[in-house]
Amino acid sequence: MKYKASRITLFLMVIPFILLVFVFNYIPLFGWVYAFYDYKPGIPLSQTEFVGLKFFKWAIEEREDLFRVLTNTLALSLLSILASPLSVIFAILLNELRSKKFQKLVQTLTTLPNFISWIIVYSLAFFMFSSGGLVNEVLMRLGWIDEPTTVLGNAAATWWFQTAITIWKSLGWGAIIYLAAIAGIDQELYDAAKVDGAGRFQRIMAITVPGVMPTFFVLLLLNIASVLSNGASGFEQNFVFYNSLVADKIEALDYYVYRVGITTGEISFGTAIGIAKSLISILLLFLMNALSKKVRGHSVF
């Protein structure tokens, strides 16, 4: 009797948290109905017209805009996926440092950028790279350039510059998980390899690299599943670095949804695109999970 009562208390005490999750993560899903109505802000949904898939068709008709935005999204995502082995290389290099103190110091200092907001990243980039910024100042003094150039307003360099910023912000942090994976490798393997006469490079290539591959593979799959979001911070990065000079090259899907949906008030159209994006992302996630199951024998989640 007492046992049953305490089980009920246990369950009752979980209910508030279930409600929180429901309210903040599931209720917004009901907002998807806006995509099927001709909704205008200020008019209640009950008085607006049901238009079915009109806005999804509209999205296909607007293909020029969408094509440009998708190109940017995929370009930015693919570049950062291509850069992802850098974290592995950095972790291996860190692991090879002989001084543990120095290793710790480098690790601490290089993870710092991960912990600052995108607004601060933008602020730092502004003071480094704007026309009156430090980089121009130094280059002009050295006489390497006559006119200040600014990469922040350079459309041709945008994809590369944004990728570089992403690498700067996330490389040190990304290495932590690989360092953990390396720490988990059986030390005896290294000793055995040493006895067999394997050099340092051979040990890295034959033991460390295969040791971190499973972790790399899982993270890679998760990255591929979120290509349409440009990773976790896609929107914020997009938002802070957006300006009219680079608009054509930087605007990615999430920013496009924000621009049409919130700044121009096309709530229904923006929602429709958001839904399409979510569905494709989920599809990709399941695909990648299935792939992981097939290749590695167990799933990502």
Partner 1 sequence: MKKDSTLAFDVFNYAVQIIFTILCVYPFYYILIYSFSDPQEALKGVFLIPEGFTLVNYSTIFKLDNMFHSFLISVLRTVIGTLLTIACCSWFAYAVTKNELYLRKTVYRFLVITMYFNAGLIPWYITMKELGLKNNFMLYILPGAVVAYYVVLLKTFIEQLPQALEESAMIDGAGYFKIFTNVIFPLSMPIIATIAVFASVGQWNTWYDNYFLVSNDNLQTLQLILYNYLTDAQRIVSSSNMNDLNRGLASKISPDSIRITITMVVTLPVMLVYPFLQRFFVKGLMLGAIKG
Q: Which stretch binds partner 1 (CB under 8 A): 50-58, 73-81, 147-155, 268-276?
A: 268-276
* Least distance in angstroms from the C-beta of 127 to partner 1: 6
Please tell me the distance from the alpha carbon of residue 62 to that of residue 111, in angstroms, as a whole number.
Answer: 41
Other Cβ atoms less than 10 A from the Cβ of 263: the count is 9
181 contacts partner 1 (rule: CB under 8 A) = yes
Tell me, rounded to whole angstroms, the distance of Cα 176 from its chain centroid.
17
Query: Which residues are CB-neighbours of 13 under 8 A, at least 6 positions away?
Result: none
Contacts to partner 1 from residues 70-99, by CB under 8 A:
90, 93-94, 96-98
Residues in the chain: 301
Q: Residue type at 301?
A: F
The nearer residue to partner 1, 210 or 214, going by C-beta atoms, is: 214
67 contacts partner 1 (rule: CB under 8 A) = no
Q: What pairs with residue 37 in β-bridges?
A: 50
Contacts to partner 1 from residues 152-171, by CB under 8 A:
168, 171
DSSP state of 37: B
For partner 1, the binding residue among 48, 150, 154, 215 (CB under 8 A) is: 215
174 contacts partner 1 (rule: CB under 8 A) = no
For partner 1, the binding residue among 78, 79, 285, 291 (CB under 8 A) is: 285
Q: Which stretch binds partner 1 (CB under 8 A): 61-69, 72-80, 124-132, 155-163?
A: 124-132
Contacts to partner 1 from residues 244-263, by CB under 8 A:
254, 257-258, 261-262
User: Which residue, chain included where needed, has tokens 């290539």?
Assistant: 205
The nearer residue to partner 1, 85 or 214, going by C-beta atoms, is: 214
Residue 216: HSE in the Cβ half-sphere, 13 Å Cα cutoff: 22
201 contacts partner 1 (rule: CB under 8 A) = yes
144 contacts partner 1 (rule: CB under 8 A) = no
Q: Residue type at 234?
A: G
* Least distance in angstroms from the C-beta of 273 to partner 1: 9
**Buried b / exposed e along 217-234 (16+ C-beta atoms within 10 A):** ebbbbbbbbbbbbbbebb
Q: Which stretch binds partner 1 (CB under 8 A): 67-75, 144-152, 153-161, 214-222?
A: 214-222
